[in-house]
Structure 1
Amino acid sequence: MANLKTTFAGIQAPNPFWLASAPPTDKAYNVERAYEAGWGGVVWKTLGEDPAAVNVSSRYSATYDAKGQVVGFNNIELITDRSLEINLREIEAVKKHWPEQALVVSLMVPCVEESWKRIVKLVEETGADGLELNFGCPHGMPERGMGAAVGQVPDIVEQVTRWCKLHSRLPVIVKLTPNITDIRFSARAAKAGGADAVSLINTINSITGIDLDQMVARPIVDGKSTHGGYCGPAVKPIALNMVSEIARDPATFGLPISGIGGISNWRDAAEFIALGAGSVQVCTAAMIHGFRIVSEMKDGLSRWMDSKGYEKLEDFRGLAVANTTDWKYLNMNYKVVANINDDSCIGCGRCYISCEDTSHQAIAKLPQPDGSNRYQVIEDECVGCNLCEITCPVSACITMEQREADKPYLSWIHDERNPHREVGH
């Protein structure tokens, strides 16, 4: 079986699956049960200064797919509402009982050096393995000058990171907000401040829906609501993109990344690792399905690695980074066209409707003697957009087939159709 052990920012763990800082990691009871279930690490729910934060009721809402499964999860919960003293005592006890599992502590205090100095010293005394600086919480805390209010200002990201590195010997992981124009600026600032790693993404500003009877967004607190933090499978594409942006940025190349955002199974985890993540953090999937899902995650990842000949995580970590590039470098002479397998086609016509109405009218509808229709790709009109393949309800019925190019690789930078092309290179 493949070896799932990982060393992330100097922190060792039996596997890369960590619980993210969130309700599942708010107390010793939860964290110990998570370790028992097989999680490789946890990031303890964000600690702050006393008096502890006060939360409201209710706190969560969600979006669903056609089958009623949760695809997006929204919360307006704040950082821990338990005292700092209780949290520190439990962290110390848990680490003593579970020395092999990673235990990182998430932190958020005002942007005052003495506040950060005090809390990182207290956490260090518990024996925890590392610190995660929460610069991403998008609700409640930014109104107090913390969370995303910090993560959105690179200069402050760098400053606070530097304070923590100055006053603590523990590895410092900076958790980044996605509620920003370009995630790379915050990552560069974290690295400049001495961060040992970054984690991303934190939750996205969101309103999941409106109760049209009460005319208020969900979740509802005494007839009012507010924006919250969005997570779950729906945010995974955004998270993967932001991870890749940091992984391939020359200014942050090599900076360890903990991937977060919609990870629900082993395949999701493998995708983040392929884009350079050294560990992955899970929250929503655990909240919906319970801690035991990690068994399937570990087993699935291990079996897939075995099938590919990967003996350890480092064998495939980051392999997709080199194949992720800017649009301007893509090959303008590459061509694929759609092909419909008549044997598996059920004649639903969805490919024809989507192409005829919203694409390039590249599929012909051919009436048959029995009153049914057959669908055929008009190859000269097909631009290889993939829309028909996406809309087809039958797996592998429509495939995109490469056509031999009669011209060599050509990027947009040098394409003669580009009025701003570079000439003579």
Structure 2
Amino acid sequence: MADLSVEFAGIKSPNPFWLASAPPTDKAYNVERAYEAGWGGVVWKTLGEDPAAVNVSSRYSATYDHNGEVAGFNNIELITDRSLEINLREIEAVKKSWPDRALVVSLMVPCEEEAWKKIVKQVEQTGADGLELNFGCPHGMPERGMGAAVGQVPEYVEMVTRWCKMYSSMPVIVKLTPNITDIRFSAQAAKRGGADAVSLINTINSITGIDLDQMAARPIVDGKSTHGGYCGPAVKPIALNMVSEIARDPETAGLPISGIGGIGNWRDAAEFISLGSGSVQVCTAAMIYGFRIVEEMKSGLSNWMDSKGYEKITDFQGLAIPNTTDWKYLNMNYKVVADIDEDKCIGCGRCYIACEDTSHQAINKTERADGSVAFEVIEDKCVGCNLCQITCPVDQCIKMEQKEADKPYMNWTQDPRNPYKDAS
């Protein structure tokens, strides 16, 4: 059986599955239930200065897929609304009871050296394993000069990170905001400040929808609303890209990454790990389905690793990084063409409609003698865009077959059709 244990930024954990800083990690009761369920670690919900933050009602909204499942989750909740003293006392007690589990504490205080000095020293006394600096919260706190207001300014990221490393011996993880032009700048700043790791992504600024009767965005607070933080399956592609950007950047390559964003099963976790993540954090899936989902996550990842011959997480960690590159380095001579398996085709015509209306008119439609229809790819017109395969409702009915495999590799910087090929 595969070994799922990890050591992330010096923090040991029996498995890579951590609960992210969020409502599920707001108090000892929740955290202990999570550990009992099998989570390898938690990031305690963000602590701040007293008096504690005050939240509103209601707080959450969502978008749904065609099956009625939550596709994206939006929240306007702030950091912990419990006192710092109570949180610190509970953190200390939980860590003593669960010494083998990772316990990282998320922090957010005003951008002042003394404020950070004070709180990191208080957290260090609890025996927690590490700190996560919340530079990503997109709502409420930025209006007070915290959260994303810090994370969007690389100079602030570097400055606060350096303060925390100066006043604490604990590993420091910097949680990055995705609400920025280029995530690499923030990651580089965190590394310059001495960060032991980064975690990403935090939530994305969003309005999930409008109640057309009340003419207000959801969630509604006395007839009004505001933008919130978007998470869940819908943000996973954005998160994977940002993780890969940091993993590929020469200035941050090798910096430990805790992957966050739409992770709901073992496959999601494996994808983040393949792009360099050393641990993964989960929030939305736990809130929707409960803490027991970690059982399937662990067994699924272990079984997959066994099937691939991976004995430990580091055996496949980062293996997808070398295969992720800039567009200009992709092989211009590589060509695939769609191939339709007539035995599996149900004649729905979705591939034909998609290609005929919105793509390259590369599929022929013919009527058989029995009144059924047949679809055939016109190879000379097919550009291998994958649209027909994406729209087909039958698994493996349409495959993309490689053509012209004898041509040598040639990227856009080498292509004679590139008018700037010889530009220095």
CA RMSD across the alignment:
0.8
Q: How does 1:308-319 map to 2 (within 5 A)?
A: 308-319=308-319
Q: CA deviation at 1:405?
A: 3.0
Q: How does 1:284-299 map to 2 (within 5 A)?
A: 284-299=284-299
Q: How does 1:227-242 map to 2 (within 5 A)?
A: 227-242=227-242
**Alignment partners' CA distance in 2, 1:123 and 1:59:** 28
Q: How does 1:120-139 map to 2 (within 5 A)?
A: 120-139=120-139
Cα offsets for 1:268-302 (capped at 9, x unmatched):
00000000000000000000000000000000000
Q: How does 1:116-195 map to 2 (within 5 A)?
A: 116-195=116-195
Q: How does 1:29-48 map to 2 (within 5 A)?
A: 29-48=29-48
Amino acid at match of 2:241: N
Is residue 2:358 matched to residue 1:358? yes
**Alignment partners' CA distance in 1, 2:166 and 2:253:** 23
- Sequence identity of aligned pairs in percent? 83
Q: CA deviation at 1:370?
A: 1.5
**Alignment partners' CA distance in 2, 1:285 and 1:146:** 27
Cα offsets for 1:92-149 (capped at 9, x unmatched):
0000000000000000000000000000000000000000000000000000000000
- Equivalence for 1:271: 271
Aligned partner of residue 89 in structure 1, secondary structure? helix
Cα offsets for 1:162-220 (capped at 9, x unmatched):
00000000000000000000000000000000000000000000000000011000000
Aligned partner of residue 348 in structure 1, secondary structure? coil
**Alignment partners' CA distance in 1, 2:393 and 2:202:** 33
Q: CA deviation at 1:379?
A: 0.3
- Equivalence for 1:348: 348
Q: Which runs of 5+ in 1 are unaligned?
A: none
**Alignment partners' CA distance in 2, 1:239 and 1:253:** 17
Aligned partner of residue 149 in structure 1, secondary structure? helix
Q: CA deviation at 1:371?
A: 1.5
**Alignment partners' CA distance in 1, 2:414 and 2:380:** 25
**Alignment partners' CA distance in 2, 1:334 and 1:296:** 38
Cα offsets for 1:233-275 (capped at 9, x unmatched):
0000000000000001000010000000000000000000000
Aligned partner of residue 399 in structure 1, secondary structure? strand
Aligned partner of residue 169 in structure 2, secondary structure? coil
Cα offsets for 1:69-114 (capped at 9, x unmatched):
0010000000000000000000000000000000000000000000
Q: CA deviation at 1:372?
A: 1.6
- Equivalence for 1:419: 419
- Equivalence for 1:14: 14
Cα offsets for 1:348-375 (capped at 9, x unmatched):
0000000000000000001111122100
Q: CA deviation at 1:67?
A: 0.9
State the TM-score, normalized to the length of structure 2: 0.99
**Alignment partners' CA distance in 2, 1:306 and 1:386:** 31
Cα offsets for 1:376-407 (capped at 9, x unmatched):
00000000000000000000000000013342
Aligned partner of residue 294 in structure 2, secondary structure? helix
Q: CA deviation at 1:423?
A: 7.4
User: Runs (4+) of structure 1 moved beyond 4 Å?
Assistant: none
Aligned length: 424
Is residue 2:424 matched to residue 1:390? no
State whether residues 336 and 403 of structure 1, in contact with CA within 8 Å, keep that contact through their aligned partners in structure 2.
yes
**Alignment partners' CA distance in 2, 1:5 and 1:187:** 26
Aligned partner of residue 188 in structure 2, secondary structure? helix
Amino acid at match of 1:63: T
State whether residues 175 and 199 of structure 1, in contact with CA within 8 Å, keep that contact through their aligned partners in structure 2.
yes
Aligned partner of residue 18 in structure 1, secondary structure? strand
**Alignment partners' CA distance in 1, 2:36 and 2:422:** 59
Q: CA deviation at 1:414?
A: 1.2
Amino acid at match of 1:382: C
Aligned partner of residue 187 in structure 2, secondary structure? helix
Deviates more, 1:399-408 or 1:321-330: 399-408
**Alignment partners' CA distance in 2, 1:160 and 1:251:** 19
Q: CA deviation at 1:334?
A: 0.2
**Alignment partners' CA distance in 2, 1:312 and 1:83:** 40
State whether residues 18 and 43 of structure 1, in contact with CA within 8 Å, keep that contact through their aligned partners in structure 2.
yes
**Alignment partners' CA distance in 2, 1:210 and 1:91:** 39
Cα offsets for 1:284-333 (capped at 9, x unmatched):
00000000000000000000000000000000000000000000000000
Amino acid at match of 1:274: S
State whether residues 414 and 423 of structure 1, in contact with CA within 8 Å, keep that contact through their aligned partners in structure 2.
no
Q: Which runs of 5+ in 2 are unaligned?
A: none
Aligned partner of residue 115 in structure 2, secondary structure? helix
Aligned partner of residue 7 in structure 1, secondary structure? strand
- Equivalence for 1:93: 93
- Equivalence for 1:326: 326
